[in-house]
Structure 1
Amino acid sequence: MLKKKKLATLYRDNPDACISCSICLTACPVVKATQKYRGPKLNGPALTRLRKLTDDYDPMINFCSNCKNCDRVCPSGTPISALNMKARALHFKTNPHPLNDKLLSRNEELGKLMSTTAVGAKLANIGMKVGCSLKLVKMMGLNPQAPFPQYAGASFYKRFKEIKQNGPFKRQVLFYPGCYVNYNEPELGELVVKILNYQGVEVLIDKRLKCCGSPLLSCGYLDKVEDHAKINTAILADYAKRGIDIVTTCTTCSLFLKQEYAELFDMEKEVEAYNQQLFEICEYLLYLDEQGEFKHDGLGPVTQSYVHHTPCHLKVQGMGVPSMKLLSMIPALKVEQLTAPCCGLSGVYGYKEETAAISANIGAELKQQIKEASATAGVCECNLCRLQMQNGTGKKAYHPLYLLDASYKAGHAPGYEVNTSKKAK
């Protein structure tokens, strides 16, 4: 009898789990947006079988956005998107990467560089705006119409040093900020600390943690993703062993840390060591509520209306939509859940010139729904989805924690504003 680990390895690399039902075609946003892509089934399992016989290259591998909707609906649990990403990486083993791959995959290195000084971040932001307006970025294979994130003058890790967490605390959590919060929206990271502190939870960080690897994977750098996975899983397992939960605000980071590493690599055991203690932040706040530790007292009315978009990478984790239940606790708040399936940006996908038109077609339905809605703004857990929701709609989009923060402020929650403070210099 094959051992469990060997069975997992066989399943992970086996295209014959696919029963050719074609349900993945109905869920794939790329198929609906272009005729260039023949769909997840042919791009994944079918071509994987072919590649076992020949080194044939099919340009279709460049059109998968890794949204993972195919994985979500597959009745046999075939790791379709993982097969697609492995095929892309295999191609680049013997072929050079285009310039846009080299740029978009280095978000962590660029973030560190740009956030070293406030001046550096400002210059980078100005340069990107000028480059987009003059379409200079197009020469680098980038989409000038894409909503490029702005760099913050100081990273979240740097700002965290200035935060004084005032106890007493019942719990500790390790916060995995991800690259976006660390280098582009550190204010969201500060809000995580503030809200968790108010619930009686002390927040820890660990600077040894690496980028989850999503941009690297999408650009075909599978070996580098595995390097990151080995570092991250070892660190997270150590915290979990000590009884410390892990939280993140990024749905893609959560997906990679919980599921993707095990799907891509021989790392089931490493991921199992912590994945039951890793939470998306709204999921964790609901967990605290189940334990009777979430503070309802002090939640005041928020009278604005919002529209909510559910990220693809949240859906595939099978946790439902925790933020909608969390936001339902806020008095007077109105949130309409949109039906558009995908924002279209899909990580680096919408930033590449060669897939820009497809990305725009995919995201058109969401943008139209936002424009037509009477709501004043959007709300979404995913960082890049929020950027896409704002792009060309004339409406802002916020992480759910900003609404929770507004509610605690409106309700004059006792001790909320002083529970977390800046350290005296």
Structure 2
Amino acid sequence: MTHTFHGNSEREDDSVKHVVVLNENAHTHVKNSNVHSVPMTSMVVDVEALERDLRQQVRGEVRFDEGSRGLYTTDASNYRQVPIGVVIPKDKDDVVATVATCRAYNVPVLARGGGTSLAGQCCNVAVVIDMSKYMNGIIEMDAERRRARVQPGIILDHLRQAAEEHHLTFGPDPATHNHCTLGGMIGNNSCGTHALMAGKTSDNIDELEILTYDGLRMRVGKTSDEELERIIGEGGRRGEIYARLKALRDTYADLIRERYPDIPRRVSGFNLDELLPENGFNVAGALVGSESTCAVVLEATTRLVESPPVRTLVVLGYADIYSGCDRIPELLKHHPIGLEGFDDGLISDMRKKGMHPDEIALFPEGRGWLLVEFGGQDKEDAGKQARALVDELRGKEHAPDIKVYADPADQQKIWSVREAALGVTALVPGEKARWAGWEDSAVPPDKLGDYLRDLRKLLDSYQYSASFYGHFGQGCLHTRIDFDLDTHEGIQKFRAFINDAADLVVRYGGSLSGEHGDGQARAEFTTKMFGNELIDAFREFKSIWDPAWKLNPGKMVNAYRVDENLRQGTNYQPLPVRTHFQFPDDGGSFASATLRCVGVGKCRRTEGGTMCPSFMVTREEKDTTRGRARLLFEMLQGDPVTRGWRNDKVKEALDLCLACKGCKGDCPVNVDMATYKAEFLSHYYQGRLRPLTGYSMGLIYWWARLASLMPGLVNFVTHAPVLSGIAKTMGGFAPQRRIPTFAPQTFKQWFQRRGTRNQGGPQVILWPDTFNNYLKPETAMAAVEVLEAAGHQVIVPQRSLCCGRPLYDYGFLDQAKHLLRQILDTLGPQIEAGIPVVALEPSCAAVFRDELKNLFPHDENAKRLSQQTFLLSEFLEQKSKDYQLPRLSQQAVVHGHCHHKAIMKMKDEEAVLSRLGLDFQVLDSGCCGMAGAFGFEKDHYDISIKAGERVLLPAVRKADKDTIIIADGFSCREQIEQTTDRKALHLAEVLQMALRQQQQKISGDYPERQYKRELHSREAQAVPARRGTVLLGAGIMGAIAILAWRLLSQRRLAVKLTK
């Protein structure tokens, strides 16, 4: 059953004229796929009418625009199909109305959760129902019965967190646990690490409320013989379904028992075994794993299991992964609650990407590792189980290297390595991209070692490369393989390999899928595993529930071939574009950069890490890194997203990107959306006016230079009650924001009068960024004092220079490149001499460490400057390690700047704070929400505040008043100062404070205020004298405003200000 979708993509209103739905056994033909369409009778559907009717019937959101359709073209698989439209329901009634309306138009439906499926289950030519935004709550938690009633869009970790309050948990926990939805887990029959303890999702569902395509709404679960006969006797559609299911069971019962592999991880095929008498005719269990092909889940009642409160983790290092897997049966005798493994290929991939170095250092020696976890009621209980295993292993010949971890923090570090495997192995520097396709096979655990050996031989015979990892305690293997999915020969080879791999796993008595499901990736080959008769039973099972074959058609049964609907394929020809950034890590190709995203969906986390702050607020797919990358990919495809760089839907998706670079650090494939956004905006605004904020804040470097001529006058005009409002309106500022105050004396003016010291000492260039030069010079002054105390001669460039960071936010890339070229030319001799550069503003350091190399990949001085640039903490740790830092006995709360966390990491910052003697807490606060100019903008104010209120601002308000608040980013400090009663300090200021306090704690509340008072008493006395020229200041600012407006209207401002 397949569908062909035709849309008029050139229409200005982004609407679609019609859809052609082919009859049974046809294949969908979409752009960039290797599909052979079967000519069949077709039916034309008026999509505009469908959309109109859905809007009338649904209270939630109905989206048929090209951008929304582009967002849902794929999942985490190799496949791509353009949906007809998207519905985001508010509640069950919306889902019922959506299905009813689609049924009236004979249109397919696909219910979807987090969109992280790896086999193509979550993409189809259908109306997609996204449950994740609104239908994500817990309806009831019954701790006594160990049950929870939940909506299908709930994120697994949210359910687990609620259950943990009662010392319970939902057992299955895939690596995507912090962003996958329970509805998606039900669709795939997901498992995870602790399925060893609790079983698959099908083992943990008590009851489902479901909706069929023909409109039947009912609850299903286990069914006694008496209840079964009663339901059948009542007749109706429900009775018909149960009668046919009973007949299906009776017909195929013996064959099911014979052909279904008796292994822990059989996920391929429908769960017809759940209908057997010995399994209680469990209709809910039979529907779990049906991948939205039989019914839509409206609600689930889950079973909860006891969560061992204390864990001990035993890490075993073997000579290779094969010998480690040979030992799995004896390890299982000790009844661990988790048993995972991976080979040295995974560790090698991480090292090449510079990921998890501290975590990897915790592992024992070896080239293959097993993680064996024990749970207990207390530390002694869990430790005793672990010691029993360790004692037994150490008494054997060829014992593995062993490390035991009882500290939860260390355990989390170990698990972070395992959980990162999926994304890490996808894209490794210097190697071919690796793809899903044969990433989820499973065999009996006692045969896993031999299976891996034979699979490695098969991979070698095809000249494929892959790392091995997975849930080895249950015989489930995950891997990504460097298939060529672009050329005809490569795709033929890919298909041949999947065929041979399916034969191999069947010979071992295994399953094609151990938890990811069949979808499109494996369904074609399930006949090898089950035989023709059971495949007929699968067709019948599908028909019982969905006689029209309109629920997620072409998946699991009567499926598309493995080489159809490929996201790339032989016809993949992205639009050729010329870019400012050179994308050296992507072969110089922006198209290749958009392919980095493999759909893992880590950017859909609602808490933890930095990526993606806007999604954490809006819960919109378009506000994820994945969604934005997908739209850029579709933009280069030209269908359904049209008009290339001028597309407003792409612009809209990028609008709430805070350019925090959280994705550069958090995303396992290092998608750099901040760079993609800057590139897109540079083309989008070509020949167009930018918004007011683009000129008021994007060009802050030049405005600051002008303001420094009369800072007192400028400050009066921008802060006087009436004039301030005018200034904010003209600049596009949010009226709730305070415009930052310009300092009466710039840092460079101060330094020029003061002069350099420590002549003859090792030289260091202190970078005078715009913010710490014109607005907060005290930060740079403090840094001078600290660096000189460490014995260095501080040098400050005499020429006015800027890295151009604010320009990137508005796509001023020509101007940004011009400023960087100035820096390379001006500082050329110092760069070549190897003099280090200390940057105080993390975003400026990130330009030199990241964007500079991307814009000038072949410039040797650009490479040198990138390598010679340090944050203050990095410099003190790496270049002044012998300097004895002063001590400061104080408590502190630390917020890391997004660019700091993404590019430089916080390790050195924390090391310096520890050497200072501070008792500090580094907040897992993500982005502060200010993000440079973002939070000052009128249209972004609400998102900015919500992002800050998620973690950072409440933590600052909660901190004791004698606690120091540390934030190195200027915008972070502004957000804190403008929304709380506290002022945050830069690390340089904290170090200066320590130097002056001489190991004494600052007594009293608000230590930053005392520090600032002592530091700036003279400046405070000078302020009244500067306010005597109010009218002159207003006149000057008015003249500047008129001049600016004229320049804006003539589109010459950016050019003139760069000269």
1:22 match: 601
d(CA) in 2 for partners of 1:233 and 1:93?
26
d(CA) in 2 for partners of 1:131 and 1:279?
41
Flag the 1:69–1:138 CA change in 2: closer, same or farther, 3 A.
Answer: same
1:15-414 mapped onto 2 (5 Å cutoff): 15-26=594-605, 27-34=611-618, 37-51=622-636, 53=638, 54-55=642-643, 56-58=647-649, 59-116=652-709, 120-130=710-720, 135-140=725-730, 141-167=732-758, 169-208=760-799, 210-264=801-855, 266=857, 269-290=860-881, 292=882, 294-296=883-885, 299-300=886-887, 302-331=888-917, 333-364=918-949, 365-376=951-962, 377-411=964-998
Amino acid at match of 2:908: P
Flag the 1:236–1:347 CA change in 2: closer, same or farther, 3 A.
Answer: same
d(CA) in 1 for partners of 2:713 and 2:613?
36
d(CA) in 2 for partners of 1:224 and 1:52?
29
d(CA) in 1 for partners of 2:711 and 2:997?
33
Aligned partners of 1:12 and 1:263 also within 8 Å: no
Amino acid at match of 1:198: A
Segment of structure 1 superposing worse, 102-111 or 41-50: 41-50
d(CA) in 1 for partners of 2:909 and 2:808?
27
CA deviation after TM superposition for structure 1 residue 268, in Å? 6.2
Amino acid at match of 1:20: G
Aligned partners of 1:378 and 1:396 also within 8 Å: yes
d(CA) in 1 for partners of 2:658 and 2:828?
30
Aligned partners of 1:44 and 1:81 also within 8 Å: no
CA deviation after TM superposition for structure 1 residue 305, in Å? 2.6
Flag the 1:107–1:313 CA change in 2: closer, same or farther, 3 A.
Answer: same
Segment of structure 1 superposing worse, 127-136 or 245-254: 127-136
Residue aligned with 1:165, SS: coil
Aligned partners of 2:584 and 2:854 also within 8 Å: no
Flag the 1:203–1:228 CA change in 2: closer, same or farther, 3 A.
Answer: same
CA deviation after TM superposition for structure 1 residue 211, in Å? 1.8
Residue aligned with 1:153, SS: coil
| Larger relative contact order, structure 1 or 2 (CA cutoff 8 Å, min sep 6) | 1
RMSD of equivalent CA atoms: 2.6
d(CA) in 2 for partners of 1:386 and 1:324?
18
d(CA) in 2 for partners of 1:65 and 1:233?
28
Segment of structure 1 superposing worse, 107-116 or 158-167: 158-167
1:334-387 Cα offsets, whole Å, 9 max, x none, are: 322222111000001001111111111101121111101214341111111111
Residue aligned with 2:928, SS: coil
Q: Which has the larger radius of gyration?
A: 2
d(CA) in 2 for partners of 1:132 and 1:345?
25
CA deviation after TM superposition for structure 1 residue 45, in Å? 4.6
d(CA) in 2 for partners of 1:303 and 1:228?
42
1:26-81 Cα offsets, whole Å, 9 max, x none, are: 32001111256432222235324414534233222222110011121222233332
Flag the 1:385–1:7 CA change in 2: closer, same or farther, 3 A.
Answer: closer
Residue aligned with 1:398, SS: coil
Aligned-pair identity (%): 22
Flag the 1:12–1:378 CA change in 2: closer, same or farther, 3 A.
Answer: farther
Amino acid at match of 1:327: L
Aligned partners of 2:806 and 2:932 also within 8 Å: yes
CA deviation after TM superposition for structure 1 residue 128, in Å? 1.9
CA deviation after TM superposition for structure 1 residue 11, in Å? 4.6
TM-score by length of 1: 0.86
Structure with the higher fraction of residues in helix conformation:
1
Amino acid at match of 1:326: V
Aligned partners of 2:629 and 2:673 also within 8 Å: yes
Flag the 1:145–1:324 CA change in 2: closer, same or farther, 3 A.
Answer: farther
Structure 2 gaps, min length 5: 1-429, 431-581, 606-610, 1001-1059
Flag the 1:127–1:226 CA change in 2: closer, same or farther, 3 A.
Answer: same
Amino acid at match of 2:802: C
1:189-223 Cα offsets, whole Å, 9 max, x none, are: 22222221221110112133532112111022121
d(CA) in 1 for partners of 2:604 and 2:663?
7
CA deviation after TM superposition for structure 1 residue 310, in Å? 1.0
Amino acid at match of 2:913: L
Residue aligned with 1:273, SS: helix
1:62-108 Cα offsets, whole Å, 9 max, x none, are: 22110011121222233332112211221111431122211111211
d(CA) in 2 for partners of 1:137 and 1:359?
21
d(CA) in 1 for partners of 2:720 and 2:583?
53
TM-score by length of 2: 0.36
Flag the 1:405–1:30 CA change in 2: closer, same or farther, 3 A.
Answer: same
CA deviation after TM superposition for structure 1 residue 134, in Å? 6.4
d(CA) in 2 for partners of 1:386 and 1:239?
31
Aligned partners of 1:24 and 1:69 also within 8 Å: no
Segment of structure 1 superposing worse, 257-266 or 350-359: 257-266
Segment of structure 1 superposing worse, 170-179 or 313-322: 313-322
CA deviation after TM superposition for structure 1 residue 402, in Å? 1.6
Structure 1 gaps, min length 5: 414-425
Aligned partners of 1:115 and 1:121 also within 8 Å: yes
Flag the 1:137–1:40 CA change in 2: closer, same or farther, 3 A.
Answer: farther
2:386 match: none
Flag the 1:215–1:411 CA change in 2: closer, same or farther, 3 A.
Answer: same
Flag the 1:322–1:370 CA change in 2: closer, same or farther, 3 A.
Answer: same
d(CA) in 2 for partners of 1:265 and 1:164?
34
Amino acid at match of 1:230: R
Amino acid at match of 1:151: F
